[in-house]
Amino acid sequence: MSVRVYIPRDSGALSMGAEAIADAIGAEARRRRLDVAIVRNGSRGLYWLEPMIEVATPSGRVAYGPIGSGDVVSLFDAGFLSGGKHRLALGPTAEIPYLKRQERLTFARVGITDPLSLDDYLEHGGYRGLERALALSGAQVVEEVTSSGLRGRGGAGFPAGIKWKTTLETEANQKYVVCNADEGDSGTFADRMIMEGDPFVLLEGMAIAGLSCGATRGYIYLRSEYPHALRTLNAAIAAAAAHNYLGENVRSSGKSFTIEVRVGAGAYICGEETAMLESLEGKRGMVRYKPPVPAVAGLFGAPTVVNNVITLASIPIILEKGGAFYKDFGMGRSRGTSPFQLAGNLKRPGLVEKAFGVTLRELVYEYGGGTANGRPLRAVQVGGPLGSYFPEAKLDVAMDYEAVAAEGGILGHGGIVVFDDTVDLARMARYAMEFCAIESCGKCTPCRIGSTRGMELLDQIIGDRDRAASAALLRELCDTMTNASLCALGGLTPLPVMSALKHFPGDFGLSGEPT
Amino acid sequence: MAAEHEWDRETVQRIATSLKDEPGALMPILRQVQDELGWVPPESIAMIAGILNLSRAEVHGVASFYHDFKHHPPGRCVIQVCRAESCQAMEGGALADHIQRRLGIGFGETTRDRKFTLEPVYCLGNCACSPAIVVDGELIGRASPERFDRRFASLNGNRR
């Protein structure tokens, strides 16, 4: 019988040479006349160990990593196909503390199954959520989602059940489900990992949304920076359709639901839901005024459920195990789990799915292991380019929508970027304004013009020209952007700027009292 | 340079005609033109507008809004360097400086021999392996000046 060897095809693993490792292991196995079946799985999310390979042994899967091309022959010599000792051996995968201490609900199968094997998906509990949803009425499904407490994982944190209920109750001949896969925040990669590592869970979540809310067509708006996700999604859609999990009369339900992937064109603003809808309609990604909300009048004016990849990928387990099961995780009004993405200057960057409430300190030190280069940690940006910078002294904040907001930040899409003591926060604040200027859709003045003026003011502060007056004006400008911008881009860009100014005034040449 | 104005009319016509009935057809059309030609020739705007029965202004507005749609033909090899926060935290700035020096061009420029085009990107979603770059379609994680130079040497053959 052949031995199964798992080598990720996740683009992070590929970026570290996984393709060459797969080729080398295949070639070496043939040379030694060994029967090896290579499975190209998703990533377990332990990126400092990528390419991390696994071998299925009679006592479970064991891992080795990070593997370089030069290690392949020695792995065979060490008998890795039966779990042999090697300097890169990591032991049983499930026992690696980084993984063992996680609470993987949405990511339960990522890195474990073959992403394109529908059989694998079904064997690991796949499509049980859809089967149950088909036995319920649309209103009952929506109730299950509402009772789970699931909130939008894209960043806004809006309760998913309320969106669904609105779309369900809005009468229309045509409704849509749109999956926001325009994961543009620096420091985030959870959507990509799902789409590359367990695409069926997203398709299942979208099908549940469509069939329960009365939508027959689904679109995945995928950013163009994710070519591997595109290939995986298209292959998974074809496989799901071939087995009637998509298409006409899904699983003999009498209802139809199809999914098409649409690729974006490098505009960050298209991650904003109304700009995304405009883009899907073939227009510039200009933010719309609300109301009407997309749930009432969205794509092509039809009622549209718009949810992020992680939100939709969390639906199957909620339907399978019930809203109460999901709600049992988390704290306060933040229920369930969230995939926190550890990035930047960390020893152990990667994906950590935990119930809400874990502290930033725990994530950064216990999981992340502190800075990669061993220098003192100075700042952590939480929630992407529109998120606040936290100083070391503020790391005890619980990762929970409300708790982070109480500290003047946002949880966003769960991205966490760590900086060491060489970071210049005045430069980072300028970058935040620059990014906003580059990506602004231009519809509202505070964002379009404010971002450029903000950049100029920061140049003046950095260059010590009218420093105190410029800082005062910058504060006023940020106040205007916060309160008068049309969407989160202009509205939240002041967060990284003002948090940098507040916690690291010295970087701006200001003497303010650091907190 | 005359070559700047040569563009493949037949390809654009084929793409626009085959996709014109898709909902929101303009984006998929521009996307495919960009993917196949490597740019969206300004002269193709009128053709696409005609096929979709849109004004040229509408098509130009969309083509010029999105960063991916290029208005000049790229070099044979496109190099993208992530400039976003996670890569900045891992010395992405020094890497970007190094790559600009090595190529002798700045961001948004193409080398005179038309071999290389350098583009900034804002996040490749490979933030756990920062800094990240894309060379000729291949994503490279934990990129360093040395790693870039090795890849560059192999692409550049005996040019130096």
Mutate which: A19, A183, A186, vs B, most B CBs within 10 A: A186
pLDDT interval class at B5 (50, 70, 90): low
Q: Distance from A187 to chain B by nearest Cα, in Å?
A: 5
Take residue A493 and report the two structure tokens written for it: 């860009």
Mutate which: A286, A417, A421, A436, vs B, most B CBs within 10 A: A417
Residue B156: the pLDDT is 81
Give A 17-76 residues with CB within 8 A of chain B. Answer: 45, 47-48, 50
User: Of all residues in chain B, what percent carry a pLDDT higher than 70?
Assistant: 95
Please give the ipTM for the structure prediction. Answer: 0.96
Take residue A310 and report the two structure tokens written for it: 């992680």
User: Could you tell me which of A456, A434, A436, A432 has the C-alpha nearest to residue A444?
Assistant: A436
pLDDT tens-place string over residues A73-82: 999 999 999 9
Take residue A487 and report the two structure tokens written for it: 């969407």
Across the interface, do B122 and A350 touch by the CB < 8 Å criterion? no
Take residue A469 and report the two structure tokens written for it: 């007056």
- The C-alpha atoms of residue A390 and residue A494 are separated, in whole angstroms, by 14
- The C-alpha atoms of residue A302 and residue A295 are separated, in whole angstroms, by 8
Residue B3 has pLDDT above 60, yes or no: no
Spell out the SS3 assignment of A356-368.
CCCEHHHHHHHHC
Across the interface, do B86 and A417 touch by the CB < 8 Å criterion? yes
Across the interface, do A349 and B123 touch by the CB < 8 Å criterion? no
Q: Which long-range contacts (CB under 8 A, 24 or more apart) does A121-129 make?
A: A121/A198, A121/A200, A121/A201, A125/A320, A126/A200, A126/A201, A126/A204, A126/A316, A127/A200, A127/A204, A127/A245, A127/A316, A128/A316, A128/A319, A128/A320, A129/A204, A129/A205, A129/A208, A129/A315, A129/A316, A129/A317, A129/A318, A129/A319, A129/A320
pLDDT tens-place string over residues A197-255: 999 999 999 999 999 999 999 999 999 999 999 999 999 999 999 999 999 999 999 99
Residue B78: the pLDDT is 97
Ramachandran bin of A419, using left for φ above 0, alpha for ψ from -120 to 50, beta for the remaining angles:
beta
Across the interface, do A265 and B87 touch by the CB < 8 Å criterion? no
Across the interface, do A428 and B142 touch by the CB < 8 Å criterion? no
Laid out side by side, the sheet with B138-140 consists of B116-121, B77-82, B133-135, B138-140
Residue B32: the pLDDT is 98
Cis peptide preceding B131, ω within 30 of 0 = yes
pLDDT tens-place string over residues B8-39: 999 999 999 999 999 999 999 999 999 999 99
Residue B1: the pLDDT is 43
Report yes or no: A417 at the B interface, CB cutoff 8 Å: yes
Across the interface, do B122 and A439 touch by the CB < 8 Å criterion? yes
Give Cβ neighbours of residue A456 (< 8 Å, ≥ 6 apart): none
pLDDT tens-place string over residues A393-444: 999 999 999 999 999 999 999 999 999 999 999 999 999 999 999 999 999 9
Q: How many CA within 13 A on the CB side of residue B149?
A: 9
Across the interface, do B89 and A345 touch by the CB < 8 Å criterion? yes
Across the interface, do B126 and A15 touch by the CB < 8 Å criterion? yes
A351 CB neighbours in chain B (<8 A) are 128
Residue A487: the pLDDT is 97
Across the interface, do B26 and A283 touch by the CB < 8 Å criterion? yes
- The C-alpha atoms of residue B70 and residue A180 are separated, in whole angstroms, by 24
Q: Which one of A262, A266, A381 has the shortest CB-CB distance to B67? A: A266
pLDDT interval class at B160 (50, 70, 90): very low
- The C-alpha atoms of residue A103 and residue A109 are separated, in whole angstroms, by 12
Mean pLDDT of B79-93: 98
Search chain A and give the residue with CA nearest B58.
A283
Across the interface, do B129 and A47 touch by the CB < 8 Å criterion? yes
Residue A92 has pLDDT above 80, yes or no: yes
Residue A1: the pLDDT is 77
| Mean pLDDT score of chain A | 97
User: Could you tell me which of A501, A449, A503, A510 has the C-alpha nearest to residue A474?
Assistant: A501
H or E stretch at A91: strand A89-92
pLDDT tens-place string over residues A308-343: 999 999 999 999 999 999 999 999 999 999 999 999
Across the interface, do B27 and A183 touch by the CB < 8 Å criterion? no
Report yes or no: A189 at the B interface, CB cutoff 8 Å: yes
Take residue B15 and report the two structure tokens written for it: 């793409």
Q: Distance from B24 to chain A by nearest Cα, in Å?
A: 4
- The C-alpha atoms of residue A234 and residue A107 are separated, in whole angstroms, by 20
C-beta separation of B115 from B77 below 8 A: yes
Give A 211-230 residues with CB within 8 A of chain B. Answer: 223-227
Please give the full DSSP string across A201-243, using - where no structure is assigned. HHHHHHHHHHHHHT--EEEEEE-TT-HHHHHHHHHHHHHHHHT
The letter for the amino acid at A420 is D
- The C-alpha atoms of residue A204 and residue A314 are separated, in whole angstroms, by 10
User: Could you tell me which of A64, A201, A193, A54 has the C-alpha nearest to residue A120?
Assistant: A201
User: Could you tell me which of A10, A108, A113 has the C-alpha nearest to residue A61?
Assistant: A113
Residue A278 has pLDDT above 70, yes or no: yes
- The C-alpha atoms of residue A39 and residue A129 are separated, in whole angstroms, by 26
The letter for the amino acid at A7 is I
Mutate which: B129, B133, B138, B140, vs A, most A CBs within 10 A: B129
Mutate which: B65, B121, B138, B154, vs A, most A CBs within 10 A: B65
H or E stretch at A339: strand A337-344
Mean pLDDT of A284-292: 97
- The C-alpha atoms of residue A261 and residue A220 are separated, in whole angstroms, by 5
Search chain B and give the residue with CA nearest A182.
B125
| Mean pLDDT score of chain B | 94
- The C-alpha atoms of residue B103 and residue B117 are separated, in whole angstroms, by 9
- The C-alpha atoms of residue A110 and residue A104 are separated, in whole angstroms, by 9
User: Could you tell me which of A389, A392, A344, A347 has the C-alpha nearest to residue A367?
Assistant: A347
Search chain B and give the residue with CA nearest A279.
B27
Q: Which one of A225, A281, A431 has the shortest CB-CB distance to B124? A: A225
The letter for the amino acid at A115 is P
- The C-alpha atoms of residue B69 and residue B39 are separated, in whole angstroms, by 6
Across the interface, do A15 and B141 touch by the CB < 8 Å criterion? yes
Q: Which one of A280, A283, A350 has the shortest CB-CB distance to B62? A: A283
Residue A513: the pLDDT is 53
pLDDT tens-place string over residues B88-126: 999 999 999 999 999 999 999 999 999 999 999 999 999
* Sign, CA torsion A128/A329/A185/A453: positive
pLDDT interval class at B158 (50, 70, 90): very low
The letter for the amino acid at B18 is S
pLDDT tens-place string over residues A15-59: 999 999 999 999 999 999 999 999 999 999 999 999 999 999 999
Residue A514: the pLDDT is 47
pLDDT interval class at A515 (50, 70, 90): very low
